[in-house]
Amino acid sequence: MQNFESFKRFFETPQKVIITTHQNPDADALGSSLGLYNFLKNRGHEVKVITPTPYPSFLNWMHGNDSVLIYTEMDHQNVLRLFEEATAVFCLDFSTLSRINELGEIVRETKSKKILIDHHLDPESFADYMLWSTEAAATAELVFELIDQLQATNEIDEHIAECLYAGIMTDTGSFRHSSTTAKVHRIVAELIDHGANVNRVSKLIYDNNSINRIKFVGYAISEKLYVHEDLNMAYIKISKEEIAKYDLKSGDTEGLVNYALSIKGINIAAILMEKEGLIKMSFRSIGDFSVNEFARENFGGGGHKNAAGGASKESLDATEEKFLTAIFHSKKQLNYEF
Ligand code: 5GP
Ligand code: MN
């Protein structure tokens, strides 16, 4: 972080802090936010976490969850007042203000200090301080680094350790993605030393399936998986009716795209999912094909080189057509060897 000394000095006196993170928060978004929340609160700051939308219930175990405010469930005037009173706003796990919906413009306008902590590509420049690295496997890793730079790792208790561990575990795909460096393992070892219970966290996050969700995964794989072996590409397409039939809750489709990517020979995978008024897409790749660029150019999205997302306002079938055309086009344009 540039101007680290000035950042450090600013937080030597108690501040009124808001921490926010991207819409549909995942374990890294919420884990890095609540890890930082607990750390700053223990240091005597007044801290609030505000998420743009609700998040899956398998994250509710995180310490501090009970005090998280959800923008869509709040009175707008109350939100404006909180941002007016805040002296510092942390933006975690997103790089462009459009990722936090209506909160984006509120953050842009606030007079408070703005701090971006993130590992996504192409950051927008709106922050006074930036701790940003695309080399970081997770935003939770960067929060750990910040605490380390403040020479305060001795203040990491089991709650902070478990929030940060959850973010790193999930964003590395349980320590399997290429982002899993030796440094990641060293940080995780330290989190375990500070009380993170790896078995507990892993069970809370991964072994929390509803019966419906498991049945839905089976259905999606057997009926809704389309494989284009010639393109080394596979995708899953899910309609609104199917989501309703299996009574899926927020987060229930998370990880589904990885089944498509796990097929031998497949190095591009996607999921197209019909939500209210929009098709949400997740993209994954192995190797050189940048799904970040693909998502940005075709579906107004972004993310990381090998994991990105986007959306479309067209119908599910029209989106599927557009997706397939774009994949063919990318293949030609990038001369990418599938
Ligand atoms: P997921 O597919 O798991 O929702 O997201 C994969 C990665 O892409 C995450 O880092 C996420 O933040 C990012 N991402 C997902 N959807 C979008 C989107 O619509 N726009 C942008 N800019 N990034 C996204
Ligand atoms: Mn992340």
How far is the centre of ligand 1, averaged over its atoms, from the C-alpha of 31 (Å)? Answer: 16
Ligand 1 binding pocket includes 62 (Cβ within 6 Å):
no
Instruction: Name the E strands within the chain.
Output: 16-21, 46-51, 69-70, 88-92, 113-118, 129-132, 225-228, 233-238, 268-275, 278-285, 302-303, 307-312
How far is the centre of ligand 1, averaged over its atoms, from the C-alpha of 109 (Å)? Answer: 24
Ligand 1 binding pocket includes 302 (Cβ within 6 Å):
yes
For the record, the structure tokens of 17 come out as 């802090």
How far is the centre of ligand 2, averaged over its atoms, from the C-alpha of 285 (Å)? Answer: 16
Say what percent of the chain tops pLDDT 90: 94
pLDDT value of position 336: 54
**Residues around the ion ligand 2 (C-beta < 5 A):** 28, 93, 139, 171
How far is the centre of ligand 1, averaged over its atoms, from the C-alpha of 302 (Å)? Answer: 6
pLDDT value of position 83: 98
Alpha helix stretches (DSSP H) within 45-98? 76-85
pTM for the structure as a whole: 0.94
Cα–Cα distance between 181 and 135 in angstroms, integer?
A: 9
Ligand 1 binding pocket includes 113 (Cβ within 6 Å):
no
pLDDT tens, 109-155?
A: 999 999 999 999 999 999 999 999 999 999 999 999 999 999 999 99
Ligand 1 binding pocket includes 303 (Cβ within 6 Å):
yes
pLDDT value of position 249: 87
Ligand with an atom nearest the CA of residue 256? 1
- Which has more pLDDT, 307 or 333? 307
pLDDT value of position 158: 98
**Would the pLDDT of 304 be above 70?**
yes
Domains with residue ranges and CATH for the chain? 4-206 (3.90.1640.10), 211-333 (3.10.310.30)
Q: CB of 331 within 8 A of CB of 231?
A: yes
Give 3-state DSSP helix, strand, coil % of the chain, rounded to 5. 45, 20, 35
pLDDT tens, 23-49?
A: 999 999 999 999 999 999 999 999 999
**Would the pLDDT of 315 be above 90?**
yes
- Range 244-273 average pLDDT: 94
**Would the pLDDT of 259 be above 60?**
yes
pLDDT tens, 7-28?
A: 999 999 999 999 999 999 999 9
**Would the pLDDT of 334 be above 60?**
no
From 142, 256, 282, mutation site for ligand 1 pocket: most ligand atoms within 8 A of C-beta: 282
Ligand 1 binding pocket includes 70 (Cβ within 6 Å):
no
Q: Which residues contact 98 (CB under 8 A, 6 or more apart)?
A: 104
Where is average pLDDT lowest: 28-42, 180-194, 275-289, 324-338? 324-338
How far is the centre of ligand 1, averaged over its atoms, from the C-alpha of 295 (Å)? Answer: 9
Mean pLDDT of the chain: 96
Atom of ligand 1 nearest to the CA of 292: 8
**Would the pLDDT of 335 be above 70?**
no
Q: Which residue's alpha carbon is at the smallest distance from atom 14 of ligand 1?
A: 309
**Would the pLDDT of 337 be above 80?**
no
Q: Which residue's alpha carbon is at the smallest distance from atom 24 of ligand 1?
A: 309
Ligand 1 binding pocket includes 280 (Cβ within 6 Å):
no
pLDDT tens, 179-216?
A: 999 999 999 999 999 999 999 999 999 999 999 999 99
